[in-house]
Structure 1
Amino acid sequence: MGADEIYYWLNITTPDFLDEVVRKPTVLIGNYVGSLACVIAAPVHHVERYRVRLVVKGYAQKEGIDFNEIFSPVVRLTTVRIVLAMYATFDLHLEQLDVKTAFLHGELEEEIYMLQPEGFAETGKENLVCRLNKSLYGLKQAPRCWYKRFDSFIMSLGYNKLSSDHCAYYKRFEDNDFIILLLYVDDMLVAGPNKDQVQELKAQLAREFEMKDLGPANKILGMQIHRDRNNRKIWLSQKNYLKKILRPFNMQDCKSISTPLPINFKLSSSMCPSNEAERKEMSRVPYASAMGSLMFAMICTRPDIAQAVGAVSRYMANPGGEHWISVKRILRYIRGTSDVALCYGGSEFTVRGYVDSDFAGDLDKRKSTTGYVFTLAGAAVSWISKLQTVVALSTTEAEYMAATQACKEAIWIQRLLEELGTKHIGVQYHFVREVVEDENVDLQKIHTKENLADVLTKPINVDKFIWSRSSCGLAET
């Protein structure tokens, strides 16, 4: 559903129309229990198509009776970026697919009942209810039912589910051909060197599910994909999204700045409102909304704002004026760098990791900050900036805890790449010592001036910040 669409509740009184919508996934039995709603969506400005869906009121379900397990995985964004790096470097074909009404394909394991829809009740059987034969939108287990159905089908085609990511599937053919499929709920990316093999998989999926073929991938999860095939490069950006999020905060015409936060700037809880008048004033500030918008950009394509977003997000429960000024400063930085994108490509396909820590940088709890970044094919594929869970007693201890966290990510990335068929992937991991004896990573000591992870632990000066951003593969488009 697009961001510019609104929803209208609609009572449907035509049984034939309702039958067409739900494809008769119900039979009438039993006693009164449950309820049903229906929703129609239409764009605000232009009606491209109308969509009607039956939506079960899942909030009425009871655990252990109407549902058990509801968890459903989605592909990791790190996996998506790694596959995009492979797509650029190895000149793969990349297609995008969307499953229509995905949650209607799930097979229910529980016995679930609902009210007859308004206008659908048969004369003389008004006291009966519907038993669901298949999943419907609104059910708590609907996402899990869909995932299990898709997982079962794709495995029956001979694909292997990666142990490192259960929403990534891989199959190898003769002549070193292979296909990688990534699943994010009902969105799919299919990559491979042989276009015929990719088209065959698309045909197999279309025979099993009702699919929407979106052709060569140019957008995934709100991220734009731009390709320069001649130079084997792609750019992954959120240019349109970043420009859009500035408008609700009246920052679309603000003056831009060079860094998200000034050097040596610290935030603390002492800046939170100290009286009711200040709290009332800050309650009118869209702090949480701004944080949500910035976090989505940060986890998708912008490691350069990770440290700043992490710092201001700690005060979301009770933000003060200084905290809001810092959020607006990040938005001013976004205003001047909305065209910046991750650029993957080149002939080198080696994972490089950088890790750093900022000892006791948090003024409230004296916790240290862990920051790491891993690059592949010239740009960042994985990064993090967050407070450590315990208080470090020394700089060495803080560095060691940071290295441990980054080491786990390095091994995970290596395992993922090996499962994707890149058996001889090299991993260089700076500032780690725990796994050197196993020769899983290559340890090198580097100067702080050459450490990309410095930007993920604290505010730094403009020159170092621009260098770090560029070294992470972020470039103007």
Structure 2
Amino acid sequence: MKDLGAAKKILGMEIHRDRGSRKPWLSQQGYVEKVLERFGMSKAKPVSTPLANHFKLSTEQCPKVDKEIKEMSKVLYASVVDCLMYAMVCTCPDLAQAVGQVYKYMSKPGRSHWEAINWIFRYLKATVGHGIVFGSQRHDPLIVGYVDSDYAFTLGGGPICWKSTIQYVVALSTTEVEYMAVAEAAKEALWLIGLVKVFGIRQGGVQLHCDSQSAIHLAKNQVYHARTKHIDVRFHKIRELIASGEILLQKVYTADNPSDMLTKHVTTGMFKHCLDLLNVCKH
């Protein structure tokens, strides 16, 4: 019998270890390079954000005449989105918002949607060597969550779970949207607590950072609010979790909330700051 060497690759994800700093690094550099080559984007001009602000994608841009429909049928739109989706799910939370946008038009993509795809490729070209850096267990070993309309969770300083999706329920205000997002994030936090317990990590309450003071007030205040009586009762579970100490809901400034980039287009400066907060960078 002999000791087995540490894993270096799993499901297309490359695992690197910096023995000196005791920080593992997870990336998909090889996979991304193959995708860029497969779709003829290896020599694309790099850009600094996944989707520029001038892309205003909508169903109005879907092809309407037979000629355009025939032209777009030759484009490997669905295959490209699937490849981008895999990268996003595994190691690229920075792609989440952009991929979510182009995904909506898979059934009938237009030229503008394809141009957006090409822009995402250009961003991948610029960040092909990037990945997720985790700290050692002595540095921030616990789960920490960030929530806006979407959410992200980190462990050891690096993202382990993120969600960027279209709002699926009707809300009458931004406060209600963020309140419901907090409730959804809390459910994910409970699942993550059970997951890390398997690895011997004693979590305790999960710090969940939210940049909406109004949503925090609704979550912490047990008093009946007429303005929230129409919100589905399942979202009010968050109040019990806060009262029990399982969720530690805290205020964070919007400028320091990395989940902001999962919700909407942000400035280049803010986008880079979000990546720094999540430890998504070049090794």
1-structure distance, mates of 2:183, 2:256: 20
Q: Which residue of 1 aligns with 2:40?
A: 250
Q: For 1:17-416, what aligned pairs fall within 5 Å after superposition?
A: 199=3, 215-263=5-53, 265-346=55-136, 347-357=139-149, 371-416=150-195
2-structure distance, mates of 1:378, 1:242: 24
Partner of 1:293, secondary structure, is helix
1-structure distance, mates of 2:63, 2:118: 18
1:392 Cα deviation from its structure 2 partner: 2.2
1:264 Cα deviation from its structure 2 partner: 6.7
TM-score by length of 2: 0.85
Distance 1:395 1:264, change over 3 A: farther
1:389 Cα deviation from its structure 2 partner: 1.9
Partner of 1:373, secondary structure, is strand
1-structure distance, mates of 2:113, 2:9: 33
Deviations 1:29-53 (A, max 9, x none): xxxxxxxxxxxxxxxxxxxxxxxxx
1-structure distance, mates of 2:281, 2:58: 32
Among 425, 430, 449, the alignment partner of 2:255 is 449
Q: Which residue of 2 aligns with 1:473?
A: 279
TM-score by length of 1: 0.51
1-structure distance, mates of 2:20, 2:46: 34
Partner of 2:75, secondary structure, is coil
Does the alignment pair 1:437 with 2:282?
A: no
Rg larger for: 1
1:388 Cα deviation from its structure 2 partner: 2.3
Identity %: 45
Give the partner amino acid of 1:382: C
1:275 Cα deviation from its structure 2 partner: 1.0
Among 200, 211, 219, the alignment partner of 1:421 is 200
Deviations 1:243-287 (A, max 9, x none): 110122211101000001123743110010011111101011110
Distance 1:436 1:419, change over 3 A: same
Q: CA RMSD in A?
A: 1.7
Specify which structure has the bigger relative contact order, considering alpha-carbon pairs within 8 angstroms and separated by 6 or more residues: 2
Contact 1:430 1:444 in 2 (8 A): yes
1-structure distance, mates of 2:129, 2:180: 35
1:221 Cα deviation from its structure 2 partner: 0.6
Partner of 1:216, secondary structure, is coil
Contact 1:352 1:427 in 2 (8 A): yes
Contact 1:264 1:459 in 2 (8 A): no
Ranges in structure 1 where 5+ consecutive residues have no aligned partner: 1-195, 200-212, 358-370
Contact 1:228 1:234 in 2 (8 A): yes
Deviations 1:217-252 (A, max 9, x none): 000111000111221111100001101101222111
Give the partner amino acid of 1:259: T
Q: Which residue of 1 aligns with 2:231?
A: none
Partner of 1:374, secondary structure, is strand
2-structure distance, mates of 1:447, 1:264: 27
1:437 Cα deviation from its structure 2 partner: 1.1
Contact 2:205 2:245 in 1 (8 A): no
Deviations 1:415-450 (A, max 9, x none): 222233222455211136322111112111122111
Give the partner amino acid of 2:190: I
Give the partner amino acid of 1:353: G
Deviations 1:430-474 (A, max 9, x none): 136322111112111122111110000111110000010121111
1:390 Cα deviation from its structure 2 partner: 2.1
Contact 1:418 1:425 in 2 (8 A): no
Contact 1:350 1:426 in 2 (8 A): no
Contact 1:352 1:374 in 2 (8 A): yes
Give the length in aligned residue pairs: 254
Give the partner amino acid of 1:469: L
Contact 1:265 1:459 in 2 (8 A): no
1-structure distance, mates of 2:54, 2:260: 13
Contact 1:352 1:429 in 2 (8 A): yes
**Comparing both structures, which one devotes a greater share of its residues to helix?**
2
Ranges in structure 2 where 5+ consecutive residues have no aligned partner: 211-215, 220-237
